[in-house]
Amino acid sequence: MLMKGVTLRGLEVFEALAETGSVAKAAEVTGLSQPAVSQQMRNLEAALGVDLVDHGRRPMRLTPAGRSFLQRTQAVLRQLRLAQNELTVMDLTHLSTLSLGVIDDFDNDLTPRLVTILAESMTRCRFKLITAPSHEISAEIKARRLHLAIAASSGEVMEGIVEYPLVRDPYILVCAKGAAEAAGGVEPLMRSLPILRYDRAQLIGRQIEAHLARQKLEFAERFEIGAHLSLMTLVARGMGWAITTPLGYMRAGRYHDQMEAHQVPFKPFSRTISLFAGTDWADRVPRDVARTTRMLVGDMVIGPALAQLPWLEGELRVMEN
């Protein structure tokens, strides 16, 4: 039982206030009046016996207690929203067939959970799932061999295809644990060890190489690896450093005790993971699948990633369409 004074509405107000730093903006997000927002915060802080925000600063900032409580609050609200989403929006009983392609970055946990939700909603549907790199998934949806696809966006406008952005996934640098400190920093590390490149046939490889070229950064041609986990293995063993994303980093969880992640020491860049659907599909089905996927990503990927890499706060995030 929650202690008296701690309410779901109060938690939602606190989350909104933490994100916006403003009572007025929190009121817009929650649909409450500004006095109601202030009252909800007073009630929550009184119930907990601590100040969660510094009320004397503009924009408002969280206290140490507030930062700690926010992580728990967000986890609770994600679970409640996901449960509500599973119960209310995934009505796919009318479908007779559905083919879905999902980027292999989600192989570990998210794809099985998404497939389970879909299967429970499609009682009379013939269902096909493929997992592959983004460039292969994109080719399949473009050729109309898939109904829905979840993949990294190339930025290309595809005729007859609607894009629903899901996740902003910033690029980061990864190396063996302790390697950056031993080299005297990230930039000296980049000069002393070779870059471990993704296969340029893959979209992620092309995006990274294009950005390095724009920054006029050149590195010796030595390693070009197609398999993500093989590339992460070489990183963990100190064979070089690589540029990947938080989704890729989290997928290599078995190596986390041998790896470390850093911000890139040049102009930051990111990729967008989106859901793609043909325009001949009714809008409701893609939107429902996109909404469920955003919930799952927030709970199963972004939350754990930010716990390990808190400096990604605000950069790694769910994108609302």
For tokens 């061999």, the residue is: 145
Q: What is the pLDDT of residue 29?
A: 82
| Cβ atoms of 42 and 72 closer than 8 Å | no
Q: Give the side-chain half-sphere CA count within 13 A for 282.
A: 8
Q: What is the pLDDT of residue 201?
A: 92
Q: What is the pLDDT of residue 85?
A: 56
Whole-angstrom Cα distance, residue 205 to residue 243?
9
| Cβ atoms of 194 and 219 closer than 8 Å | yes
Give the pLDDT confidence of 184-204 residue by residue, as tens digits: 999 999 999 999 999 999 999
| Cβ atoms of 24 and 30 closer than 8 Å | no
Report the chain's mean pLDDT, rounded to a whole number: 87
Give the pLDDT confidence of 273-304 residue by residue, as tens digits: 999 998 877 677 888 889 889 988 888 888 88
Q: What is the pLDDT of residue 163?
A: 94
Quick one: three-class SS letters along the chain? CCCCCCCHHHHHHHHHHHHHCCHHHHHHHHCCCHHHHHHHHHHHHHHHCCCCEECCCCCCEECHHHHHHHHHHHHHHHHHHHHHHHHHCCCCCCCCEEEEEEEHHHCCCHHHHHHHHHHHHCCCCEEEEEEECHHHHHHHHHCCCCCEEEEECCCCCCCCEEEEEEEEEECEEEEECCHHHHHCCHHHHHHHCCEEEECCCCHHHHHHHHHHHHCCCCCCCCEEECCHHHHHHHHHCCCCEEEECHHHHHHCHHHHHHEEEEECCCCCCEEEEEEEEECCCCCHHHHHHHHHHHHHHHHHHHHHHHHHCHHHCCCCEECCC
Phi, psi dihedral angles at 249 (to 5 degrees): -60, -45
Give the pLDDT confidence of 102-140 residue by residue, as tens digits: 998 887 778 888 888 887 777 677 888 889 999 999 999
Whole-angstrom Cα distance, residue 38 to residue 51?
13
Q: How confident is the model at residue 89 (pLDDT cuts 50, 70, 90)?
A: very low
